[in-house]
């Protein structure tokens, strides 16, 4: 079996399992108590904090353990915004942040705050100039992930941190995906992480707030974890999280080389094995274990089921895997194809033969899904020398399939007007034009849905 979804949750590291089992006998007592059992628990907690702080590159008294990475993000954002409310209520985030950051931004905006989303390029990276231009006099906080969770693109954190520091604005870095690979460079102010992303147990997050950053913890006061993470500490899980972080760091340099070779093999071979595929994300500045591609004319959820039946666990940012039937916000921000999206994220220790078997299975799985979806016939009419394709009521990738079937029926320079009411078409039709060398003219109003106009260029 090939578990290729480490970006969602990595398998428990053997060191984490050992540390968890060992600390169950010593770390059950209240570390705030002065009796023997409490002192033992406190020693374990303090040692774990020191180990995690050394891995992050901060002081132990700057780091607290939270019940999850999401809680660390929400606590960090709320605390800095509250601590700097006299400066202003402007929050900056990149357009491809994890949903935990974007949800916190939505809550801030709903409460009367201002939010700016900094756009990214087609590879998924922000520009330093874009961040610089978005800074304002009332900016209280800026947020930028160290690397993207869907496509693996690394962000220019050190450069952005320098710009923010010069402007007197703290930068919060969501380092959930990258912390197992190494420290986050740059003069950042706040950092968050999540243990289950690097092979630790679930239910443990990290929140680091540098000394000098104005921070006001929100919610009822609590004496634990500097008042920033209320509730009794799960000491065995915390010990396991710190131990596994140290263990994966010891392996990271060598494993990064090996996994980068495996993902590069996928990046290079998939477009040759499967027609009409777009590999997305930065080809160079990316995490070692993540590679993402999108397949034209494929329903993402169906493809994931087919791969699961073949023994491979992968994930998708495709609109078709979401109950909301809207495209992934990451893929939308990048302006790339969303349909038939597959994210392969290899855990530590992935065998090369598993990757080879995946490459053997993938073409047949994609072909099978395309065959199932190829049946719908496009309803086309000609109006004012424009070929009209009625795809109303049909979910992507069907509108794109029907466009592909009829584009050859118009002369070069001729127009095709696709009527569609699936939100994913707004992203996938322009992406198809980019891939196929056709000209996307734009949108036009329609009685129902939206009309997407394409000019045949070749």
**Helix/strand/coil (H, E, C) string of the chain?**
CEECECCCCCCCCHHHHHHHHHHCCCCCCCCCCCCHHHHHHHHHHHHHHHHHHHHHCCCHHHEEEECCHHHHHHHHHHHHHHHCCCCCCEEEEECCCCHHHHHHHHHHHHCCCEEEEECCCCCCCCCHHHHHHHCCCCEEEEECCCECCCCCEECCHHHHHHHHHHHCCCEEEECCCCCCCCCCCCCCCEEEEEHHHCCCCCCCEEEEECCCCCCCCCCCCCCHHHHCCCCCCCHHHHHHHHHHHHHHHHHHHHHHHHHHHHHHHHHHHHHHHCCCEEEECCCCCECCCEEEEEECCCCHHHHHHHHHHCCEECECCCHHHCCCCCCCHHHHHHCCCCCCEEEEECCCCCCHHHHHHHHHHHHHHHHHHHHHHCCCCCEEEEECCEEEEECCCCCCCHHHHHHHHHHHHCCCCCEEEEEECCCCHHHHHHHHHHHHCCEEEEEEECCCCEEEEEECCC
Residue 1's Cα: distance from chain center in Å? Answer: 24
294/316 Cα distance (integer angstroms)? 9
Nearest to 312 by CA among 351, 271, 267: 351
216/218 Cα distance (integer angstroms)? 6
Distances (CA, A) of 393 to 242, 372, 420, 421: 51, 18, 7, 6
Specify whether 295 is catalytic: no
Q: Which residues, listed in sequence order, are joined to residue 390 by a DSSP beta bridge?
A: 379, 419
Choosing from 58, 143, 320, 433, which is the catalytic residue?
320
Distances (CA, A) of 67 to 74, 242, 385: 11, 14, 61
Nearest to 363 by CA among 345, 346, 342, 339: 342
The catalytic residue positions are 320
């Amino acid at each position: 079996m090939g578990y290729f979804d480490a970006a969602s949750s990595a398998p428990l590291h053997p060191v984490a399992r050992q540390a968890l089992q060992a600390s169950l006998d010593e770390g059950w007592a209240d570390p705030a108590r002065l009796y023997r059992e409490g002192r033992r628990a406190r020693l374990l907690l303090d040692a774990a904090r020191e180990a995690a702080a050394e891995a992050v590159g901060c002081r132990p008294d700057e780091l607290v353990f939270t019940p999850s990475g999401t809680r660390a993000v929400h606590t960090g954002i709320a605390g800095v915004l509250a601590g700097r409310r006299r400066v202003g209520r402007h929050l900056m985030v990149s357009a491809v942040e994890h949903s935990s950051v974007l949800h916190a931004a939505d809550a801030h905006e709903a409460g009367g705050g201002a939010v700016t989303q900094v756009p990214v390029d087609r590879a998924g990276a922000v520009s330093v100039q874009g961040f610089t231009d978005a800074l304002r006099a009332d900016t209280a906080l800026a947020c930028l992930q160290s690397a993207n969770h869907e496509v693996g693109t690394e962000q220019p954190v050190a450069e952005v941190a320098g710009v923010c520091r010069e402007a007197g604005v703290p930068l919060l870095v969501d380092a959930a995906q990258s912390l197992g690979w190494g420290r986050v460079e740059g003069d950042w102010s706040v950092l968050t992480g999540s243990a289950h992303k690097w092979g630790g147990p679930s239910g443990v997050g990290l929140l680091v707030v540098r000394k000098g950053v104005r921070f006001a913890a929100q919610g009822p006061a609590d004496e634990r974890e500097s008042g920033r993470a209320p509730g009794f500490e799960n000491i065995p899980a915390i010990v396991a999280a710190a131990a596994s972080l140290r263990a994966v760091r010891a392996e990271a340099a060598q494993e990064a080389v090996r996994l980068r070779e495996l993902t590069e093999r996928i990046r290079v071979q998939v477009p040759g094995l499967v027609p009409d595929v777009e590999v997305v994300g930065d080809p160079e500045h990316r995490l070692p274990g993540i590679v993402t591609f999108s397949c034209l004319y494929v329903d993402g959820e169906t493809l994931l089921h087919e791969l699961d039946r073949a023994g491979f666990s992968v994930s998708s940012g495709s609109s078709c895997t979401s109950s909301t039937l809207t495209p992934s916000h990451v893929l939308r921000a990048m302006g790339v194809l969303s349909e038939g999206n597959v994210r392969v994220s290899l855990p530590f220790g992935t065998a090369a033969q598993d990757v080879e078997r995946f490459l053997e299975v993938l073409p047949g799985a994609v072909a099978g899904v395309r065959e199932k979806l190829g049946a719908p016939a496009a309803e086309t009419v000609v109006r004012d020398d424009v070929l009209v394709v009625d795809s109303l009521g049909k979910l992507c990738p069907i509108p794109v399939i029907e466009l592909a079937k009829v584009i050859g029926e118009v002369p070069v320079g001729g127009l095709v007007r696709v009527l569609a009411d699936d939100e994913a078409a707004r992203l996938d039709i322009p992406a198809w034009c980019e891939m196929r060398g056709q000209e996307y003219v734009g949108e036009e109003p329609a009685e129902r849905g939206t009309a997407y106009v394409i000019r045949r260029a070749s």
